Amino acid sequence: MAFPQTHRSVVLAVQSDDADERRRALDTLLRTYWRPVFLHLQNRWRADGPRAEDLTQGFFAVALEKDWLERFDPSKGRFRTFLLACLDAYAANDARAARRLKRAGDTPLSFDFEIAQPRDPEAEFRREWARSLFALAVAALRERCRGTPREVAFALFERYDVEGADALRRPTYADLAAEKGLPVTQVTNHLHWARREFRAAVLVTLREITASDAEFRAEARDLLGVDPS
């Protein structure tokens, strides 16, 4: 599989002097990490929905204001691991502040900030990060196929590989052929094309949200089983 050759790292672009470049980089980071951060705050820190949303917004605002992302050193690990460590530090500080307010008898709090440790919080965070990454790739492929002859290929891919993965009964290629009035061989060809393009879309986004070539290649191997020899 061909790897993207241009390294447009939004992790580094967030620090750019160009306001438009910073805005685009931040948008990509938010679209990739918003849901993993939100769910981590719910699952590990037991923040209810509205509070988790407030904390998610606060975390990204403080991370940018305090230039936390500039502290990331690609030689010491992966960006998502670094971001998770920053998030836990932020949530722990907020939890301590909340407990101080409780002890002082200030406004009662309707949520519990005591840590409810999942079995493997980093694995859970990675899983949600991967889901966000794949969702972005699906959306990019959908937009690319919209209004073109490839819409049929995307519809088959969405039906079989996206929706079918969670269905009680996954449709067969013969089912899809009957639904679309196509030969089974054409369904096979459409799905082959869509899967290839989906993987390419994943790699494009992955290239953007990693800070070094080594991190990009390591994440690609983990996510897609691709060996960038």
CA pair distance 99, 213, nearest whole angstrom: 42
Is residue 35 over pLDDT 70?
yes
Say if 46 falls within a structural domain.
yes
This prediction's pTM: 0.84
Could you tell me which residues come within 8 angstroms of residue 72 by beta carbon, excluding any fewer than 6 positions away?
A: 11, 79, 82, 211
In a domain, 190, yes or no: yes
Tell me how far apart the alpha carbons of residues 197 and 210 are, in angstroms, rounded to a whole number.
Answer: 20
Q: Does the pLDDT of residue 83 top 90, yes or no? A: yes
Segments forming the whole domain that contains residue 201: 10-224
Domain total in the chain: 1
pLDDT digit string (tens) for 119-141? 688 899 999 999 999 999 999 99
3-state secondary structure (DSSP) of residue 72: coil
Cβ proximity of 63 and 70 under 8 Å: no
Residue 1 lies in a domain: no
